Amino acid sequence: MTAITAPTTATRPGAIRNRILWTVQILLGLFFVIASGIPKFVGQEDAVRIFDAIGFGDWFMYFTGLVEVAGGIGLLIRRLAGAAAAGLSITMVFAAATQAFILDAPSYSVFPLVLAAMFAWLAWERRDGLVALRDGLSR
């Protein structure tokens, strides 16, 4: 007697989680490169106005743009994704503090804090890349 088995569409454990992580990383990476970092490099009017209100000068706007673009690109590179997410999480905490305490707009600090939490989650999920990066630097 022959057993007939139905074809399975089983995927390895964690494949769906990995797809979700990559989707979030790609969306946030593109957002930080295109919508957040590049406008600071080209001197978009809103960015200039906000950084003038902060009072650190144009260099800080360009530096922040560089951090955001580098972080956005880092999210798209498997080995760097954990480190990029950790760095962007810290950056968003500082952005929230700036909104709340320097710009006197605490209600605007909610969005950067949500992003900080998302980046912290991504950094945790991609921590294997952080370990590999650490091990590579310690050699």
Report the predicted TM-score, pTM, of the whole model to 2 decimal places: 0.84
How many Cβ atoms sit within 10 Å of the Cβ of residue 52?
12
The closest alpha carbon to 32, from 84, 72, 79, 75, belongs to 72
User: Is 9 a residue whose pLDDT tops 80?
Assistant: no
Q: In this predicted model, what pLDDT tens digit does every residue of 21-40 receive, in sequence order?
A: 999 999 999 999 999 999 99
**C-alpha–C-alpha distance, residues 60 and 81, integer Å:** 24
In tens, the pLDDT along 38-89 reads 999 999 999 999 999 999 989 999 999 999 999 999 999 999 999 999 999 9
Burial readout 12-21 (b: 16 or more C-beta within 10 A, e: otherwise): eeeeeeeeeb
